[in-house]
Structure 1
Amino acid sequence: MRMPSAPVARWIGPVVRDAALWAALAGAGVFAYRDRVAEASPVLGLVLPLLILAVAVPGSRGRPGAAVFLANAACALGLAEPAATASPYLAALAVLTYLLGVRSTRTGAALLLFGACMAVDLALCAVLGVGPVYWFYAVSMIPSALLLPWLAGRYRQARLALVRGGWERARGLEQRQRFVAEQARLRERTRIAVDMHDSLGHELSLIALRAGALELSPTLSGQDRADLAVLRAAVADAVGHLRDTIGIVRDTPDTPDGPDTPDAPDGPYGEPTASSVEPVEELVLRARESGVTVDLRREGEARVLPPLVDRTAYRVVQESLTNAIKHAPGAEVRIRIVHQGSHTEVRVANSAPPAAPSDLAPPHDRGPSRAAGHRGLTGLRERVRLIGGTLHAAPRGGGFEVRATLPDQVGPLWPEAAGAPPEEETGAESARRLADARRRTRLRFAVALAAPAALGLLLLGSAAYLAHQLTACVLRPAEFAALRPGQERAELAHLLPDREFRYVPDAVKAVPAPAGTACAYYRSNGSVLDQADVYRLCYAGSRLAAKDVLPSRPLTTSADEA
């Protein structure tokens, strides 16, 4: 099946939504028109309002003000044709007014539009000379359908703008944080390159030195000395090429925190720079001399690790100690270095600080704005990842724990070439939080609409039930005229409605009935709002004894007239 093109798919959605909205609004009008199909004009009561809505609903996207004016015209048709039903189109007016509040920011123009709609409705009432019910309709119902939904739409528009602006700022801050993290990763790669230069250059220099010593051996022939000279020159060239290559990826000397800065220590108490190598025990010893409570334990069989792995283990301990001293002063630090199988696990955990537990978490755990504090663990994670290991850092037991698993043999240095993304880039935090905020906003907005909607449905249900009670007990005048006293009750069953009128006014019930009879009451018409006369049928046993027409509001002079 051929999929629609992008431009076509872009307008299919709005068209479908507009069609569904028109169908819902038109359905209310059609349903209401069915009750007065014999009295109302089909043009004014049905055809013209539906055509107006067919223009107003899609037009509300480009000109929401004109759409509101057209919907008001559909409501005003009920004033021009009193027999037609106007109230169902109040829903259309309210919906289009809400869309005006959402889609337009011009407050003054909206208020002028509402004033024009009111002026048209009131002028039409004055010209047609309608009754009080329609004046009430024009003065109260239509203004409510104009103003209240518009205010709800403006609130929705302001809330969406606020959320959108806030999350755009959050997205910008997150991009900034990712940029800082990328700088930290690049800086850590540079440090790894420096470590490679230090270890590999040292080994090559030893090879060149031994080759030079062999040249002086008296047991070698001239050809052997010439070959050794060539070998020593090649090794010296390799050392020079290595130095030049590393010099390209090094930070510039004027970078404050670059590895070329000879006097910049890695930690707060004078640890060596990235180019030096020392045992972890010496690092821990200096920390203890600085007043830090540190417990170091090694478990498993000690082994000689490659320089990159050894340096990475040192950096894990160093960075964790630095964070513990900075963010949990006075806390006890426990270091475990476990050699097992083909890997080494380094765990550094600090307890909760005795004074300020709120400052325990390292900066990366305090929000995206602390980008500078995110560099340490970001760079450390990059270094561990590049040699094929894993690193986890999280709060634990009131303190904080850093756990690194390092392979005994260095894996691929650039794992992203195989498709492995950096750990902190998998799933943007701002995107997840934005989705949560949108979900909460939709829920709150749904609740705000559901409460009045539920109340309205309850009122409508009650009104519908009452209307059914009033219309199901109607005895038509022609059928009432066909009833004759003396007929059996069974003979009258096909002429009588299914229900009796149960809400008979007390004044009607007070009218005396023939002695020895039981009476049933029925309404004379199905009007819900208008007063209707009451038909009373009195039975003596199973026969109709008398029938009476009782006004719903008996005149006070009726007794005198009798």
Structure 2
Amino acid sequence: MSGSALPRTVTSVNSLAPARRLPARLREYLRRRRVREVLADLALWLFMAYPLPTLGEDPLWLRVLAAPLLAVAAPLSRRAPLAAAAVPAVLGLIATPELFTSTFSPALVALSFLLGRRTQDARASLLAAAALCAAGLVLALTLPGAGLWDWFTLVTTVLFAAVLPWLLGRFRRQQYALQSTGWELAARMEREQQLVAERTRLRERSRIASDMHDSLGHDLSLIAVRAAALQVSPGVDEAARASAAELRQAAADATESLRQIIGLLQQDTSDTARLRGTETVPDLVARTAASGVRITLRQHGTEEADWAGLPPLVARAAYRVVQEAVTNATKHAPGSAITVGLRRGSAALEVTVHNGVGTSGAPPTPGVGSGTGLISLDERVRQAGGTFRAHASDDAFEIRARLPLTHVTADPHPPDPPATGRSRSTEELAQARQRVRRGLANALWIPAAATAVLAVLMYGFQLYTSHESVLPQHTYEDLRVGEAKTSVTPRLPSYEFDEESRPSGAPPDPDHTNECRFYRTGTFSNSPLYRLCFADGRLAHKDRITLDRDER
């Protein structure tokens, strides 16, 4: 074996070691999850590919090409759902400029639903729908045999086969987010209940310690006083004086030991014990930056000399806010840029900590942990007489605290929010419900509004074509049978009565003619019509006809 082969072999074995160290249940869960995903993708592909062999309205080569493309689109919808939804859209455009086809419409509906279900950003999807409509308009204006009515059909297909399923998918995503928020609220309420119980026990322990200190300390002090009086009392021999001195000293030592023990029982374990001596916020930021974290400090009126003049309670609270926020940022959004802001005014110190997306590209998720850190910060700031707020968005997380510089006595009970009277968890649940209601409203009013706009456009285009398909009477009278078609065509209207097909109820065309055109005699009149028939490049026949309404 060569020397270069040995390191590669060892590296290969070491790369497999973490997988082998995974618990058996976790490995089994991952295998089952992969199997479920493969089965789901297979079922999706079968659903999308079912029309390919059963429907023959599209060319065979296109259906053969669509089978592997849809097979790729099924698993691609998990990682790039927009690209997956573009596959049936492009296939539909290749089949017909109207986009609507029974072969690819089911795939467009399914992948559009998954696009709304699996994506957060709506702008890319809406831009893709607009681009599809623009491409259809270009095809309708450039392809021979196509027209604006084909584009209207395409817009209708985009609306009901792509946009509406996409809205339903977004509604399902928001509904799932509401369920997740409800479960998170329940878990948070359970944690808060445990914290309340623990705080009650600590408060009771502190009360018991105070009672012990008051009662036992008083009794030990009396014992020490009486021992001192006995020590200096006349008529007491030296042995008794020595015993009294020892008793007084023992009482004093017991009082000191009791004070220390009571102090330990009353100690706030979440307080400054974790502070690094007299370390300030600038020191904390400098130490964090030295460890490789991208952190920036912006100070306004809080230079080193001013920091030393802050009230101790305010300085400790500001330090804890920054410490906890930086810890959350490095834990839940590693690699993100952190900005710490300190602004000292005449009445208060404002502390802000802002962090964005980490190196993984995922949005910050500070609420994934136990949630006790933010609760303790809220309590600490409240005890200092200030206000605390934590705000999360799709690409950032910010903590903001305002600490008054003057002494403010904190309310022993947390105040209710002044505007709504609801807790932060209840507010988050209400916001999630509002997003779901908004999603449901969008799923209803956006298609309705788009349909109304499309109907107005189609009706306006119908009026325009009706007006532009009227052949004036004097022009009709000026046309002469036998006149060249090249001379007749420039004087005719831009549109015919029915460019798609022959008008229903029209009489048979005259013999020896190969092309007949029909024009209106009035904008809102379908009967009678002018009929112009051509043969061998000349006007061979013209007449005024009336459509048979019974046949129509």
TM-score (structure 1 length as normaliser): 0.36
Higher radius of gyration, 1 or 2 = 1
TM-score (structure 2 length as normaliser): 0.36
